[in-house]
Structure 1
Amino acid sequence: ILFNLSFRDEDSLGDSRLLLQYSVSFLLSCWFCIAERFNVVGPDAPLVAEAGEDLVLPCSLQPNISAEGMMVEWLRTDLTDGLVHLYKDYKDTNDDQIKTYRGRTALFKEELKKGNTSLKLSALQPSDEGSYKCFSCYFVPFFLKKPFLCV
């Protein structure tokens, strides 16, 4: 799923109050990961929120398969080194996360088992403007047996 989060300022009827409006548009795509086929699904319409509010970037797997053992990666595609949130090995791994997102992102851990990989982004900032990608993948471990020799 690719998310585009845009930011714009509007002056409301001459009011000096600045309305910070975020709109999120979605481009849906499907991912095929090694052992399972599933779709990554988001909403049909843009989401709107004001600066300072929290926003949930919806993302779920169809069929509703568990994402607990998967890697769930949220990226800013318009930035180099754009890691927004990373979940792998059953835990959040955000050492390489963009600094401005530290402490402001969260997955809904209890919902992962239902295939919900949505990201909660807290306290929206103008710097959050950009394109977001949700990627979920299931890795199948594969080990080769050591060959043995019979003499």
Structure 2
Amino acid sequence: MGFPSVLLVLLSLLLVVDPAATFVVNVTQSSYEAEENHSITLEWTFTTRTQGSYRELFVICELRTLEKIRTLYVYRGGFEILGNQDEQFSGRVQSDKDVLREGRIRLHVSRLRTEDSGLYLCVVKTEDGFGSAECRLNVSDKYKLVGHEPIHAKVGDDVILPCHVEPQFDVTDLTIIWRFKDHIIHLHHSGSKDDKSPDPEYSGRTSMFYNEFKKGNISIKLTKVTKEDEGNYICFV
């Protein structure tokens, strides 16, 4: 009589373990490319059963970078938990809650930023088990900076260091930085027309063309060129 009893115990264990072993979380796409200020939909799938409880589902999705882990979505007990969402994603993430019953997670991220780039990991837990899957998102700038080189000048000359954005748009409300070696030689704060050079060597020697900002022109004029001014200049927006 002892043998059938042992067999029943083993069979019971197999029935409990087997669903968890087949629980799988997948991504529908391993990598995404998008531009700044655009929107994108990230999607995961997971094993589900028709008799499964909707309220037993737990989902947490995170952006993982070298600097920090940021939570963008949490679902627990039948509700979305906004309190755990990182402020970086505040008001920018919407989910298709109805498709959760089908074993799908669809997150719509709007007004993309370059800092949204990174590895997105979703962890899913149900009564059947738990698992995770990840995808990568790369958000690129919607514009690029264009300059011309080399620029030739003589000691004592005034020279224009050209730089503009493509495609053209109004840069008045952007912060613009010009750097030479390890020095910031010109700093334009958003909306300001009273720029000053943080470096005393360039104080009063640099200026921008504010009337050209609407055309995306962020060139600077450098006066009284010296031999020490020779080198590579970089502009940042």
TM-score range for the pair, normalised by the shorter chain length: 0.5 to 0.7
Relative to structure 1, the CA distance from residue 45 to residue 86 in structure 2 (aligned partners, 3 Å threshold; closer, same or farther) is closer
* Mapped contact 1:74–1:85 kept (Cα < 8 A): yes
Residues 1:106 and 1:134: Cα distance change in structure 2 (over 3 Å): same
Matches within 5 A, 1:68-147: 68-69=54-55, 70-78=57-65, 79-139=67-127
TM value normalised by structure 1: 0.60
Normalised to the residue count of structure 2, the TM-score between the two structures is: 0.40
Which structure dedicates a bigger proportion of its chain to strand? Answer: 1
Determine if contact 1:67/1:112 at 8 Å carries over to the other structure: no
Instruction: Give the counterpart letter for 1:71 in structure 2.
Output: F
Quote how far apart the aligned CAs of 1:54 are. Answer: 1.1
Cα gap change, 1:73 to 1:45, in 2 (>3 Å) = closer
Where does structure 1 differ by over 4 angstroms across 4 or more consecutive aligned residues?
Answer: 63-67
- In the alignment of these two chains, the number of paired residues is 108
8 Å contact 2:48–2:102 — kept in the other structure? Answer: no
Contact 1:41 1:62 in 2 (8 A): no
Distance in 1 between residues matched to 2:53 and 2:42, nearest whole Å: 16
Which residue is equivalent to 2:196? none
Look up the match of 1:51. Answer: 36
Give the Cα–Cα distance (whole angstroms) in 1 for the partners of residues 113 and 42 of structure 2.
15
Following superposition, the deviation at residue 96 of structure 1 comes to 2.2
> Contact 2:40 / 2:110 at 8 angstroms: preserved in 1?
yes
Task: Give the direction of change, closer, same or farther, for the CA distance of 1:54–1:68 in structure 2 (3 Å limit).
Answer: farther
**What percent of counterpart residues are identical?**
19
Larger radius of gyration: 2
Return the structure number with greater relative CO, CA threshold 8 A, min gap 6. Answer: 1
Give the C-alpha shift of residue 49 in structure 1.
Answer: 2.0
* RMSD of aligned alpha carbons: 2.8
For 1:104 and 1:67, how far apart are their aligned partners in 2? 28
User: Which residue number corresponds to residue 27 of structure 2?
Assistant: 42
Unpaired stretches in structure 1, ≥5 consecutive residues: 1-32, 141-151
Structure that is richer in helix per residue: 2
Partner of 1:143: none
CA contact (8 A) 1:56 1:119 kept: yes
Q: C-alpha distance in 1, partners of 2:19/2:47?
A: 15
**CA distance in structure 1 between the aligned counterparts of 2:53 and 2:38, rounded to whole angstroms:** 27
Aligned partners of 1:85 and 1:45: how far apart in 2? 19
Instruction: Classify the secondary structure of the residue corresponding to 1:59.
Output: strand
